[in-house]
């Protein structure tokens, strides 16, 4: 059972996420969108979207950076004060994001909400899986303390073993149920990525920062001509 969940499933999720994600990007670019519903409802969106997005962005980046640079992360966490500060910050951000997610769920489900006009089944699935994932993450932080530290010796080696195509789940198989659920739903989120609105997270338009303000596209000029007008600077 563990082999299925922690070796086969992560590979399936990752391959589909990358493969379908790329296929969808090139074949159906029209469907890559944040699918905002702000125009229909704005007040609850503020209390939901802002905490959720800021919270989850920092938490996700921390997970990613710690997995990429385990030695730096372990240095950070070895100091007791540093560990306490980091764990508390993480906990606060987790609760912040969880609060936002719950507001977003209420916003979708509220009776007579205009947002329901744009809600698909997939939105419901995404919200549910994210709720399990965020809830289990905060749960791990409460019931299996100092996760930041043991994350580096359990999940990170497992990630690296998956990445190097020598899958070894021995470091995670012995963990309690709650962290295991968190790992599993993590890969469910990755699996959902290419099939849901989650695709918008790779579309973060960072290129906007160095693009000139004005965009001009010519019909009657050869392809490859820069679409950016030179007349108006950044």
- Shorter beta-carbon distance to other proteins: residue 71 or 224: 224
- Shorter beta-carbon distance to other proteins: residue 140 or 198: 198
Give the list of residues 6+ apart from residue 3 with CB closer than 8 angstroms, or none.
169
Smallest CA-to-CA distance from 138 within 102, 107, 176, 179 is with 179
- Shorter beta-carbon distance to other proteins: residue 85 or 215: 215
- Shorter beta-carbon distance to other proteins: residue 1 or 30: 30
With both helix axes pointing from N to C terminus, report the angle between 155-163 and 9-27 in degrees, rounded to the nearest 10. Answer: 60
Smallest distance, other proteins to C-beta of residue 226, A: 11
What single string gives the DSSP state of each residue in 147-206? HHHHHTTTHHHHHHHHHTT----HHHHTS-HHHHHHHHHHHHHHHHGGGSGGGGGGG--G
- Shorter beta-carbon distance to other proteins: residue 61 or 88: 61
The rounded distance, in Å, linking the Cα atoms of 19 and 192 is 12
Smallest distance, other proteins to C-beta of residue 9, A: 21
Smallest distance, other proteins to C-beta of residue 158, A: 30
- Shorter beta-carbon distance to other proteins: residue 46 or 146: 46
Residues at the contact surface with other proteins, assessed by CB under 8 A: 28-42, 45-46, 49-50, 52-54, 112, 114, 116-118, 120, 122-123, 195-197, 199-200, 203-209, 211, 213-223, 227, 229, 231-233
The rounded distance, in Å, linking the Cα atoms of 107 and 197 is 17
Structure tokens, 223: 């392809």
90, 80 contact by CB (below 8 A)? no
Structure tokens, 110: 């509220």
Smallest distance, other proteins to C-beta of residue 126, A: 9
The rounded distance, in Å, linking the Cα atoms of 187 and 11 is 9
Smallest distance, other proteins to C-beta of residue 167, A: 30
Smallest distance, other proteins to C-beta of residue 90, A: 20
The rounded distance, in Å, linking the Cα atoms of 127 and 105 is 7
């Amino acid at each position: 059972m563990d082999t299925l969940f922690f070796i086969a499933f992560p590979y399936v999720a990752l391959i589909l996420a990358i493969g379908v994600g790329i296929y969808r990007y090139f074949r159906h670019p029209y469907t890559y969108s944040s699918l905002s519903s702000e125009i229909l409802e704005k007040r609850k969106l503020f209390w939901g979207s802002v905490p959720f997005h800021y919270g989850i962005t920092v938490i996700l980046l921390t997970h990613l950076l710690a997995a990429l640079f385990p030695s730096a992360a372990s240095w950070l966490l070895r100091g007791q004060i540093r560990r306490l500060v980091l764990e508390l910050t993480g906990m606060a951000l987790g609760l912040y994001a969880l609060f936002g997610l719950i507001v977003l769920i209420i916003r979708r489900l509220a009776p007579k909400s205009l947002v329901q006009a744009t809600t698909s089944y997939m939105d419901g699935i995404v919200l549910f899986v994210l709720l399990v994932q965020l809830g289990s993450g905060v749960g791990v932080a409460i019931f299996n303390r100092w996760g930041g530290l043991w994350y580096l010796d359990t999940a990170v080696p497992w990630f690296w073993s998956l990445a190097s195509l020598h899958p070894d789940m021995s470091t995670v198989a012995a963990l309690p149920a709650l962290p295991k659920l968190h790992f599993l739903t993590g890969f469910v989120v990755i699996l959902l990525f290419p099939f849901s609105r989650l695709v918008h997270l790779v579309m973060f338009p960072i290129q906007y920062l160095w693009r000139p303000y004005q965009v001009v596209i010519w019909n009657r000029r050869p392809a490859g001509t820069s679409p950016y007008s030179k007349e108006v600077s950044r």
